Amino acid sequence: MKLELTFAEEFGSHLADGGAAAAFRQTRIDPYLGLCREIVLDFTGVRHANSSFINALIAGIVEQHGSGVLKILVFKGCNPVLRVLVEGAIALGLQKSEDHIGA
């Protein structure tokens, strides 16, 4: 099964509310991680985002589920700024995940 989530449709062209991103992750992504072979996070049409939103969404997934989740997630339609934010959130999630394992 494949799940595709389009953020411009869900949130508009500016992603800024970290609380909304965390709630979205918990209700619309986390329950499907064990069910889907691929989850597409489509940022097509998103013009701006802040680190609060992207970190709550992506770092949280990686921190909670570990690096293996990156085999399931596909990032689509990222402009250069979003790409930097997504890469930073992945790195943050991996760091936090490793800190939990090492603790």
DSSP state of 2: E
- pTM for the whole thing? 0.91
- Which of 31-35, 40-44, 60-64 tops mean pLDDT? 40-44
Establish how many alpha carbons lie within 13 A of residue 1's alpha carbon, considering only the half-sphere containing its beta carbon: 6
101 vs 38 pLDDT, higher one: 38
Instruction: Give the integer Cα–Cα distance in Å for 56 and 49.
Output: 12
Q: What is the mean pLDDT of residues 3-9?
A: 98
97 vs 50 pLDDT, higher one: 50
**Over 70: is that where the pLDDT of 101 sits?**
no
Establish how many alpha carbons lie within 13 A of residue 72's alpha carbon, considering only the half-sphere containing its beta carbon: 21
pLDDT at 98: 79
> For residue 59, what are the contacts with CB-CB under 8 A and spacing of at least 6?
89, 90, 92, 93, 96
Nearest Cα neighbor of 70 from 102, 26, 33 is: 33
Domain boundaries, the chain: 2-102
Q: What is the mean pLDDT of residues 54-77?
A: 95
If you classify domain 2-102 with CATH, what class do you get?
Answer: alpha beta
Mean of all residue pLDDT scores within the chain: 94
Instruction: Give the integer Cα–Cα distance in Å for 62 and 94.
Output: 6
